[in-house]
A and B are shown apart, each in its own frame.
Chain A
Amino acid sequence: MADDVFKALADPTRRRILDELTDRNGQTLFEICGRLVTRHGLGLSRQAVSQHLAVLESAGLVSTRREGRYKFHDLDTEPLEHIVGRWLGPKTPRTPKTPEGTP
């Protein structure tokens, strides 16, 4: 699961898609394509953007919502919370007292 998230985040275009969904949640494929090309100069085909969205969706970072005849894409930050919680959890890391402290 975490591997999928890191893989999804490793691509700059996919990070841009998440940026734009942060600006406004619930976008159609058309809106995402328009934002990528006009705001970031990323002139990708709709198929390419669709594939990026599929990677984000399989990592759980984007979910697809059908509403009547339309399909909207929503940002889901839950997988990021798991990642951050792994190292920035409620437990404060203890500074080892000796240089030989357990890593």
Chain B
Amino acid sequence: MRINLTSVFVDDQEKAQRFYTDVLGFVKKHDVPLGGEDRWLTVVSPEDPDGTELLLEPDKHPAVKPYTTALVEDGIPAAAFAVDDVRAEFDRLSKLGVRFTQEPTEMGPVTTAVLDDTCGNLIQIMHNGG
């Protein structure tokens, strides 16, 4: 058994596609119309195109909004991504206008930061070490 897909709920798939590709730097893997406006939309890391896919899932279910609102209020990320250097990513993304709710911080064995994906979620980025 292995983890090949995980998902975040997004309030707008078009906007999410732009943020996760143009800003974060992932690449689109699958884009399948599901009827209506909804798509089966996944992205992968260009460093690992056959790796775990991230599904950008529509947030239309009524349970989603209260869930994501409560998580964001407390600063809790919906997903975490590995980067080479959290501070370098913080600088790069800040220049692109990305809002961070937690600036780079050493947390024991890892360095982490938390950013807003503009589609309803907070995302943690991390690397091992200080």
Interface residues of A in 30-51 (CB under 8 A from B): 30-31, 34-35, 37-39, 46
Within 8 A of A (CB), among B56-70: 69
Q: Which of B33-41, B88-96, B106-114 contacts A (4 or more CB under 8 A)?
A: B106-114
The verdict on B98 contacting chain A, using a C-beta distance below 8 Å, is no
A5 within 8 A of B: no
Looking at chain A's contact residues, the main secondary structure is: helix
* A35 touching B73, Cβ below 8 Å: no
- Near B by CB (< 8 A), chain A positions 18-39 give 24, 27-31, 34-35, 37-39
B69 close to A30 (CB less than 8 A): no
Chain B residues with Cβ below 8 Å from A71 are: 73-75
B interface with A by C-beta (< 8 Å): 69, 72-77, 101-103, 105, 107-110, 112, 114
Q: Which residues of A contact B (CB under 8 A)?
A: 24, 27-31, 34-35, 37-39, 46, 69-72
